[in-house]
A and B are shown apart, each in its own frame.
Chain A
Amino acid sequence: MKKWQLQVGNWLTNHLKLPSDVLLELPRITTIGQFHAYIENHRGLILFTDTELQLKLTKGSLKIVGDHFVIKTLLPEEILVEGTIKEILFLESE
């Protein structure tokens, strides 16, 4: 069932030019240089420290590594992080 949904979603994005993040519930990450990262469509906070941020996603999780992190705004599906971003990693769930 899930696989079928994914296939339909893929077809829609390819042929109707609909944004993939909405249809497939994927995160949309916008960064401004090194110091701003804006993540939409996350599913919650796992970990937050000065140097690391981990977010739940629909599938797997997202890890951002850097320095002097401050969460500027935290909303159920959006998050804005400020600091010095060094890495953005997608972690596959087991």
Chain B
Amino acid sequence: MKQVQGTWLRGYITIQVIGYHPELFFDLCTRHEIDVWQIKKVDQTTCVGNIFIKDIIKTKQIRKQTRYKLRFVRKTGLPFAWKKVNKRKPLLIGFIVSLFFITLLSNMVWKIEVAGVRPEIEKQIRTTLSENGVYPGMLKFSIDSPSNLQKKILDNIPELLWVGVTEKGTTYSLEGVEKTSVSEQESRGPSNIVAAKDGVIVDMYVAKGKPMASVNDYVKKGDILVAGDLSNTDSEDDDEEKTHNKIAVEAEIYANTWYESTITVPLQANYKVLTGNVNRKYYLNLADLNLPIWGFFQETYKEEQVEVEQKSIHFFQWELPISFVKKSIFESEQITEKRSRKNAREVGIKQAKTQLQQTLGHEAEITNEKILHEASENGKVKLDLYFTVKENIVKIQDLSQGD
């Protein structure tokens, strides 16, 4: 069955034929290879039917040979709709421009909300944000991801303990938590100070309490260094006085302590570094298709590391299937470093030192290091190291525990 297809796209006209046996005019048309459809008889002498735009001239020529009267009743289809729109060009342009603007404005930062912090810190957060390109009126494509922003804000403002950045459409809302320095409890109960580690005492500063050890003493872990009980141990006083004599001690005691650690250092090291050269390419992404819009004719690197950032475009609150893709191609270099044994030893010691410092905290001071044993096998140097550290060994022991 042959069917008349694409009628609306091609455009068609409803014609009215007036005359004696009007249906025969349509029959005549088909014999001249004109497609006709939807033929209806209105009354004895009138008939309506549809023909394509392209057949109008042909139909008119056929009509000239007959005695029928022809009238165009209605025009339908895309060509006519297009003509109508074309007549109102400003309207069409306005429509396209408004769509463009709505998309543009939907992808802008309109508002930044900061909650949960003092005004000074809020000001600081706002300045950090604007330094990183987050301020009202900025396009969202050029802005870092919320987690990156979070990191940057935390790095810049040490007073902040935590900050949460959420992107809600055109609004960035931040919630911060400030660090509150908790003042040490003033009224501690009576206590002793005991050694936290084995060591030789180097310095002692006792503010409150009775010192039980002196400089250059070797103390073991758990030994009492400063006593909170001030009463004479020989005299037998009543309980009330005893508790009265017990105080909370305060002291700083530094001692030399010792640590051993084992570390292996390879004699050959491979690592990748970025040279600092970078190519940036921008794409508009639609489903799987990447349409390049910026960054043509750039040199290609021998070795590269690629970072892709994808930001979807919004229209009001809806996410469009189109997204903006930023591709950064970093030139990288493979570096192979060969270490001499001496060099490896130095690297090993340095590494062990930083490791130890990390576990002890920065108050501790590594005063001396020694290599106990050194062996090299399979292209690696194995070091047994011995460190002397000067650190605070104070540990407060509560006396009221026993009550």
| Residue B49 interfacial (CB < 8 Å) | yes
If over half of A's interface residues share one DSSP class (helix, strand or loop), that class is named, otherwise mixed; here it is strand
Which residues of chain A come closer than 8 Å to B39, judged between CB atoms? 48, 70-71, 74
Which residues of chain A come closer than 8 Å to B3, judged between CB atoms? 73
Establish whether residues A44 and B37, one from each chain, have CB atoms under 8 Å apart when the complex forms: no
Establish whether residues B30 and A71, one from each chain, have CB atoms under 8 Å apart when the complex forms: no
| Residue B339 interfacial (CB < 8 Å) | no
Q: Interface on A for B, CB 8 Å cutoff?
A: 38, 44-45, 47-50, 69-76, 78, 80
Which residues of chain B come closer than 8 Å to A69, judged between CB atoms? 41
A80 interface neighbour in B1, B21, B35, Cβ under 8 Å: B1
Which residues of chain B come closer than 8 Å to A74, judged between CB atoms? 26-27, 29-30, 36-37, 39, 49
Can you list 28 residue pairs at the A/B interface with Cβ under 8 Å?
A44-B27, A44-B31, A47-B23, A48-B39, A48-B47, A49-B41, A49-B44, A71-B26, A71-B36, A71-B37, A71-B38, A71-B40, A71-B49, A72-B37, A73-B3, A73-B4, A73-B35, A73-B36, A73-B37, A74-B26, A74-B27, A74-B29, A74-B30, A74-B37, A74-B49, A75-B35, A76-B31, A80-B1
Look across to chain A and name the residue whose beta carbon is closest to the beta carbon of B37.
A73
Establish whether residues B40 and A70, one from each chain, have CB atoms under 8 Å apart when the complex forms: yes
| Residue B362 interfacial (CB < 8 Å) | no
Establish whether residues A45 and B23, one from each chain, have CB atoms under 8 Å apart when the complex forms: yes
- Chain B nearest CB from A43 CB (Å) reads 10
Contacts A71-B26, A71-B37; A78 near B21 (Cβ below 8 A): no
CA distance A25 to B91 in the complex (A): 58
CA distance A13 to B252 in the complex (A): 119
| Residue B24 interfacial (CB < 8 Å) | yes
**Interface 0/1 of B1-33, CB less than 8 Å to A:** 111100000000000000001011011011101
CA distance A48 to B21 in the complex (A): 8
Contacts A47-B21, A70-B38; A75 near B30 (Cβ below 8 A): yes
Which residues of chain B come closer than 8 Å to A73, judged between CB atoms? 2-4, 35-37
Which residues of chain B come closer than 8 Å to A49, judged between CB atoms? 23, 41, 44
CA distance A49 to B46 in the complex (A): 10
Which residues of chain B come closer than 8 Å to A70, judged between CB atoms? 38-40
B41 interface neighbour in A48, A72, A80, Cβ under 8 Å: A48
Look across to chain B and name the residue whose beta carbon is closest to the beta carbon of A44.
B27
Interface centre among B27, B36, B38 (most CB of A within 10 A): B27
Which residues of chain A come closer than 8 Å to B38, judged between CB atoms? 70-72
- Chain B nearest CB from A56 CB (Å) reads 9
A-B pair count, CB < 8 Å, reads: 53
Look across to chain A and name the residue whose beta carbon is closest to the beta carbon of B25.
A45
Besides A45-B24, A71-B37, 7 other CB < 8 A contacts?
A44-B27, A44-B31, A45-B23, A45-B27, A71-B40, A73-B36, A75-B30
Look across to chain A and name the residue whose beta carbon is closest to the beta carbon of B34.
A74
Look across to chain B and name the residue whose beta carbon is closest to the beta carbon of A68.
B40
Look across to chain A and name the residue whose beta carbon is closest to the beta carbon of B24.
A45
- Chain B nearest CB from A50 CB (Å) reads 5
- Chain A nearest CB from B342 CB (Å) reads 96
Which residues of chain A come closer than 8 Å to B37, judged between CB atoms? 71-74
Interface centre among B2, B37, B41 (most CB of A within 10 A): B41
B residues 34-68 touching A (CB-CB < 8 Å): 35-41, 44, 47, 49
Look across to chain A and name the residue whose beta carbon is closest to the beta carbon of B36.
A74
Establish whether residues A48 and B30, one from each chain, have CB atoms under 8 Å apart when the complex forms: no
Which residues of chain A come closer than 8 Å to B1, judged between CB atoms? 38, 78, 80
CA distance A78 to B35 in the complex (A): 12
Which residues of chain A come closer than 8 Å to B27, judged between CB atoms? 44-45, 74
- Chain A nearest CB from B301 CB (Å) reads 64
CA distance A50 to B35 in the complex (A): 21
CA distance A72 to B26 in the complex (A): 12
Contacts A71-B38, A72-B38; A45 near B26 (Cβ below 8 A): yes
Which residues of chain B come closer than 8 Å to A48, judged between CB atoms? 23, 39, 41, 47
- Chain B nearest CB from A11 CB (Å) reads 30
Look across to chain A and name the residue whose beta carbon is closest to the beta carbon of B3.
A73
Which residues of chain A come closer than 8 Å to B30, judged between CB atoms? 74-76
CA distance A80 to B4 in the complex (A): 11
Interface centre among A47, A69, A70, A80 (most CB of B within 10 A): A70
- Chain A nearest CB from B27 CB (Å) reads 4
Which residues of chain A come closer than 8 Å to B23, judged between CB atoms? 45, 47-49
CA distance A76 to B2 in the complex (A): 11
- Chain A nearest CB from B266 CB (Å) reads 84
Look across to chain A and name the residue whose beta carbon is closest to the beta carbon of B33.
A76
